[in-house]
Structure 1
């Protein structure tokens, strides 16, 4: 029996890799893993500071929606929450204090935050 490649040229039987190749054991490390939850949003102080720095050449008022769309929200606390319900309670507390667009975001090692 003779094998040929896609161009019709004969291939030597030794180059087909007929020998036994032992499978390598792969280490079972995931690409990423869960490290907790963080709460992010726009604080009233952040919005007040942006409003104070805003200078309009057209006479237009400061637009919070545009500011929130073009800027990154800040993290509300440095320490991550292990329990999702605790992060949700903290989110509700921040919303009562006047924070805007508050979100609970998962933290995973190995992924971009």
Structure 2
């Protein structure tokens, strides 16, 4: 007993026709994927990032408490807090979750963030390939 297939109109479909339809579908899928890939950079706006106010002070306080705990436990805890290294390693957070569409607006936001106590404020351009 062999399987026989029919299309929606009731006409029989042979295995050769099924293979041809499968190959045509795969080719169409490849063409569709190739057409969706953008070839140039797309501008997605400007994002303002920095280190929020108070984060440096809390890191210094945490470091001091760790040193104090180490001293109480009898361990050497004399390494001072290196602010430059901490700033270099710290991940920048977005000042605003939604990016700005205009560079001037992002620059104005960066200026306000700096006045508000944010550290290491930068304006990054968002692009996609």
Q: Which has the larger radius of gyration?
A: 2
Aligned residues: 85
CA distance 1:32–1:59, shift in 2 (3 Å): same
Instruction: Show the counterpart of 1:33.
Output: 42
Other structure's SS at 2:46 match: strand
Richer in helix (by share): 2
Q: Which runs of 5+ in 2 are unaligned?
A: 1-33, 68-76
* Structure 1 stretches of 4+ moved >3 Å: none
Instruction: State the TM-score, normalized to the length of structure 2.
Output: 0.57
Structure 1 residue 59 displacement after superposition: 5.2
Instruction: Show the counterpart of 1:89.
Output: 108
Alpha-carbon distance in structure 2 between the residues aligned to 1:88 and 1:36:
12
Alpha-carbon distance in structure 2 between the residues aligned to 1:76 and 1:52:
24
Instruction: Show the counterpart of 2:30.
Output: none
Other structure's SS at 1:44 match: coil
Instruction: Show the counterpart of 1:18.
Output: none
Alpha-carbon distance in structure 1 between the residues aligned to 2:83 and 2:53:
11
Instruction: Show the counterpart of 1:15.
Output: none
Instruction: Show the counterpart of 2:52.
Output: 43
Structure 1 residue 31 displacement after superposition: 4.6
Alpha-carbon distance in structure 1 between the residues aligned to 2:40 and 2:84:
36
Q: Which runs of 5+ in 1 are unaligned?
A: 1-25
Provide the aligned C-alpha RMSD in A.
2.2
The 5-angstrom pairing of residues 3-82 of structure 1 reads 27=35, 29-54=38-63, 55-56=66-67, 57-58=77-78, 60=80, 62-82=81-101
Alpha-carbon distance in structure 2 between the residues aligned to 1:84 and 1:100:
20
